[in-house]
Amino acid sequence: MDWTSLFSDGATLAAIAAAAVAFWQAVVATRQARAATAASEEAGRRADEANRALARSADAHETIALAHRPNAWGNPMPASDYKWAIRNSSGREMVVHGVEASPARAGSLLQVEGTLPASVRAGGLLRFDADARLGLVVDSFTIVWSFADDTDQRQHRSERLLRR
């Protein structure tokens, strides 16, 4: 018996064994890669579901907040062609911090009487002019206000339409 042939036979068997182990490792790695891909896709689906649930929750919170905001202002009443007034119907004194026109490009057409911030007593009127020029009119406006006795001065926004 020749040592060379034994060594050659042993090396061949070792190579075959190594090839089998490598093949098995490739099979296991492929299975693990497929499992990881499936887990990643499942995580993506769950993240999408969570994002949709978060968006629904945010919409619900906004709806609740709008339903529970103070009903502070009545409807705007025309006093003349371009003069308007709106009543503080909250039962509390308020501070008006600003009034914003819509569309925004009509902002210069909306002028509050007096200076802002302005105090409006309970039942009092906020008077303003809503002019029109070259077909541009103020369609609606938003009053930015807070209750005078609110120590945090939390600002609220109340939007109203101008019905001509």
Peptide bond into 78 cis (omega under 30): no
> Partners of 118 in the beta sheet?
96
Region of 153 on the Ramachandran plot (φ > 0 left; ψ -120 to 50 alpha; else beta): left
Domains in the chain: how many in total? 2
| pTM score | 0.56
Residues 128 and 113: beta-carbon distance below 8 Å: yes
Cα 148 from Cα 154, distance rounded (Å): 10
**In the chain, alpha helices (H):** 3-68
Residues 73 and 87: beta-carbon distance below 8 Å: yes
Beta carbons within 10 angstroms of residue 51's beta carbon: 10
Are 62 and 87 part of one and the same domain? no
Read off the tokens for 156.
């609220």
Residues 77 and 96: beta-carbon distance below 8 Å: no
Are 2 and 43 part of one and the same domain? yes
Beta carbons within 10 angstroms of residue 130's beta carbon: 23
Q: What is the pLDDT along the chain (164 residues), one digit of tens a residue?
A: 555 555 576 777 778 888 888 889 988 889 998 988 988 888 888 888 888 888 888 777 666 655 555 578 988 998 888 899 999 998 899 999 999 998 898 888 889 999 999 999 999 999 998 888 888 888 889 999 999 998 888 899 999 888 76
Residue 62's domain comprises: 1-68
Are 14 and 60 part of one and the same domain? yes
Are 2 and 63 part of one and the same domain? yes
